[in-house]
Structure formats: C-alpha cells, structure tokens
Structure 1
Amino acid sequence: MSTAWGAHDTEPTRLLLLRHGQTPWSVERRFAGREDIPLTEDGHAQAKAAAQRLASRPIDAVVSSPLLRTRDTAAYAAEALGLPVEIDEGFVETDFGAWEGMTFAEARAEAPVGVDRWLADPGTAPPGGESFGEVVRRVVAARDALVERHRGRTVLVVSHVTPIKVVVQQAVLAPLDALYRMHLDTACLNEVDVFADGPMVVRSLNDTAHLD
C-alpha cells in the first residue's frame, strides 16, 4: 500500500470503529480481554445513543467482535440500520491471560517485573496471554480481509480498545508504542478511510459527541 499523499482514484472503504458500551470492569478499570462481560445499564444507554447517531449514516454492513459486550452494542446499531450483524473473530480483544479481571495495581503487585516488561515492549505478553505484537498481526489480517469483502463501502465495526487502537496506529504509521499513548472512552466512535490506491486516513478519534 502506498504511503504517499495525493489524489486517489478510488472511493475509500470507510471503517466506523465503535468501542462497546460501559461494563462493570471498564468502570473498575480492570483488564477485560476474553471474559464475556455484560454491559451495564449505562452501557446499554451508551449503545443506544451510538445507534441513534449512526442511524442516519449510509452504512452498508455491521461487523462485531464475538464477545457479549460488543454483540449487544452492535445489536442496537444493526436494528436501527436494518442490517444483520456479521461476527468477526479477528476483532476480539487482547487475551490478557493471568491478568484477566485484575486492576493494573493488582497485576503490578503480583508481577511487577512482568508488568514493567509489558509496558516497555509490545512483544511481551501477559502470562498465558497475547502480546500487542500478536494482536497487531491478527487485527491487520482481519482489517485486510474486511476491506476485501466490503471494498468501497462503509462498515461499522464494533470492537474493543486494543483492536481499534491498532487500526488507528497502522493508519498513521506510528510505532507500536503508540498503543500505550491513546485513550478510547467506552462507546466512542472512530473513523478510518482505507484507500485501495493510497494510504489509510484517520478522520476522527475518540468521538463521544453522542454521549453528551
């Protein structure tokens, strides 16, 4: 894919990347990876608000991570848009292994050296989990396959913090360390255009206007 700036001959594939709504673990700031955590009451309200905002957008497909919190968030948008939900395993959250369900402080108290290594090196994984480097390879493959299936269309992807950050990081050609420097609120909306004949372009990041 070219990295040059210039005019494009194709319509982009527009990815609307929606983080799932609030969960009990997001409130408590716990590592939430593959555990099937439900939305809170506020999380359902956030998902409904996002769906209302997206209802007027020309969206062609709705894709979701397989986890409950993303499927429930996606269901509101899919109903508003009159579209089915396509499940894509590639957009599932990072596997945090032994740290799943812990707060950052709890993980650091149990494994201070391991947490420091994880923070310093995207190639380091939590015990029994997945490194950010592995997540990048998985998400890039899922993104490429999605764009191939829906080339030139607008796709709503309901996912999690890390996969959304990866799409943005890849779009701006940032180093993997950039994953540690982004903040995404629950139910935030992010937009990335993917051009077949040019670079990816980030149009918005951590947009929560629908939650105001």
Structure 2
Amino acid sequence: MKPQRSRLVLVRHGQTDYNREGRLQGQVDIPLNTTGAAQAQRLAAAVTADPPDVIVASPLQRALATAQVIGRVTSVPVTTDPAFLERSFGDWEGLRGEEIRQRWPEEHAAWRAHRTVEGVGVEDRPEVAERVAAGARRLLQEHPGKMVMVVAHGAAITLGITALIGEDPNGFRGIAGLENCHRSVLEPLQAAGYEGLMRLLSHNLPPSFA
C-alpha cells in the first residue's frame, strides 16, 4: 500500500469584535464574538467529512476556542504551541489603520511597503515567517503521513505559507490574507533538493467547504 502523504491545514480563527471594527489585534488576547463562534461551528461541521489527525492552536483564545470547537466535533484533542502566535504589532495593537497612519506616518509607510518597522515593537516579517514555518515543519516530522491542522492568525499564516513555499517574506506579495475561519492546505515537496519546502494545494477555503 502506498504510504499516505502528510498534509498541513492552516486555519484562521473565527471573527472577533476587533476584526469587525477593523482594529489591529496582534497578540492582544481577544475572544471570538457570536459570529466567530458560528463560523467555527460551520467549519467543524465541514471538516468532519475528512477530519484532521492532529489539531494544534495558537495559545490566544480566539484561535484556541476555534480549535476546540473543531476538536469537540471531530473527537480530536487540541494542544497549543506558541510558534503559531500572531505577529506582534507592539504599540499599534488595538488601533485602526487610519489611527496608525496619522500617529506614525513614516512607520506606517514602511509597514505597508513590507519593510522593517523600527521603534514601535512590530515583529519583523522574516522572524514571524520562520517561527511559523519551523513550527509547521516540526509538527509534520512528529506526525508523518498525517493531516495536521493548525489554528492560528491571519498575518502569521500568510507569512508562514510564504516561507514554506520558499519565497521571501519581505518581497513576496503573492499570498492573500485568509478570511475568518477560512483555511489553506499544503503538502511537503518530495523531490530531492526541496527539503523543508511545501506546495500550496488550496488557499482561503471558506468554513462551509467540505
């Protein structure tokens, strides 16, 4: 029998009030709102057709609560891993984009241009990308041939995918952000010379997609 190939499913958490209000969340620990909880339920119902073998969540409650809904429906235990925390946005967390632009115009311009942002505690893009990618590679090594689901955050997932497909987190803009409770699926490349890299099979699948 041909061995089963490993799969990595990256899920963004359900909606929060900060999402609805257009505020930058970062590592502020914001809970799901009513809409976000309903999104998690729809996603859990959809993945029962092909449930994950492993579920790991960011420790932040919006990701953990989303993962726990999926875990209850699929009877898969949920663990947490800080490798999948959202990108830290330092002094900007809790603010809207226009507030940031007005108060830190130069830093905001650097952020929008995917350059390093100095002086306000924003975690650098390559640092986040490698943190998430390293965590994903480790999980796949620990669970060969399994479907590993990671429930995390928009910026962290986008940057992690960028690193996993071998692109530059500072320069590459080919990965759009995930919507709430949407998911992306990747698998490791098997060819020699591509160790640690992955293929993006699907991106931004909605919560109701089975």
TM-score w.r.t. the length of structure 2 is: 0.88
Q: Contact 2:130 / 2:160 at 8 angstroms: preserved in 1?
A: no
Would you say 1:204 and 2:202 are equivalent positions?
A: yes
* Worse-matched range after superposition: 111-120 or 91-100: 111-120
Alpha carbons of 1:28 and 1:47: their partners in 2 closer, same or farther (altered >3 Å)? same
Alpha carbons of 1:114 and 1:74: their partners in 2 closer, same or farther (altered >3 Å)? same
Q: 2-side partners of 1:147 and 1:123: how far apart?
A: 30
1:148-197 CA distances to partner (integer Å, 9 max, x unpaired)? 11121101110101221123213433332335861311110111112454
Q: Contact 1:122 / 1:133 at 8 angstroms: preserved in 2?
A: no
Equivalent position amino acid for 1:174 in 2: E
Equivalent position amino acid for 1:167 in 2: G
Q: CA deviation at 1:209?
A: 5.5
- Residue 60 of structure 2 aligns with which residue? 67
What is the root-mean-square deviation of aligned Cα atoms in Å? Answer: 2.0
Alignment of 1:82-93 (within 5 A): 82-93=75-86
Equivalent position amino acid for 1:208 in 2: P
Q: CA deviation at 1:119?
A: 2.2
* Worse-matched range after superposition: 73-82 or 146-155: 146-155
Give 3-state SS (helix, strand or coil) of 1:143's partner. Answer: helix
* Identity, % of aligned positions: 31
Q: CA deviation at 1:81?
A: 1.1
Q: 2:74 aligns with which of 54, 74, 81?
A: 81
Q: Contact 1:70 / 1:158 at 8 angstroms: preserved in 2?
A: yes
Gaps of 5+ in 2: none
* Worse-matched range after superposition: 98-107 or 111-120: 111-120
Q: 1:182 aligns with which of 176, 191, 200?
A: 176
1:84-118 CA distances to partner (integer Å, 9 max, x unpaired)? 10101000100100000001111011100011112
Alpha carbons of 1:179 and 1:34: their partners in 2 closer, same or farther (altered >3 Å)? farther
Q: CA deviation at 1:137?
A: 2.1
Q: 1-side partners of 2:8 and 2:166: how far apart?
A: 17
Q: 1-side partners of 2:150 and 2:118: how far apart?
A: 25
- Residue 106 of structure 1 aligns with which residue? 99
Q: 1:167 aligns with which of 139, 160, 164?
A: 160
Alpha carbons of 1:89 and 1:20: their partners in 2 closer, same or farther (altered >3 Å)? same
Q: Contact 2:110 / 2:116 at 8 angstroms: preserved in 1?
A: no
Gaps of 5+ in 1: 1-8
- Residue 50 of structure 1 aligns with which residue? 43
User: Across the two proteins, how many residue pairs are aligned to each other?
Assistant: 203
Q: Contact 1:99 / 1:126 at 8 angstroms: preserved in 2?
A: no
Alpha carbons of 1:143 and 1:126: their partners in 2 closer, same or farther (altered >3 Å)? farther
Give 3-state SS (helix, strand or coil) of 2:29's partner. Answer: coil
Equivalent position amino acid for 1:184 in 2: L
Equivalent position amino acid for 1:74 in 2: A
Q: Contact 2:39 / 2:207 at 8 angstroms: preserved in 1?
A: no
Alpha carbons of 1:168 and 1:78: their partners in 2 closer, same or farther (altered >3 Å)? same
TM-score w.r.t. the length of structure 1 is: 0.88
Q: CA deviation at 1:123?
A: 3.3
Alpha carbons of 1:70 and 1:189: their partners in 2 closer, same or farther (altered >3 Å)? same
Q: Contact 2:7 / 2:187 at 8 angstroms: preserved in 1?
A: yes
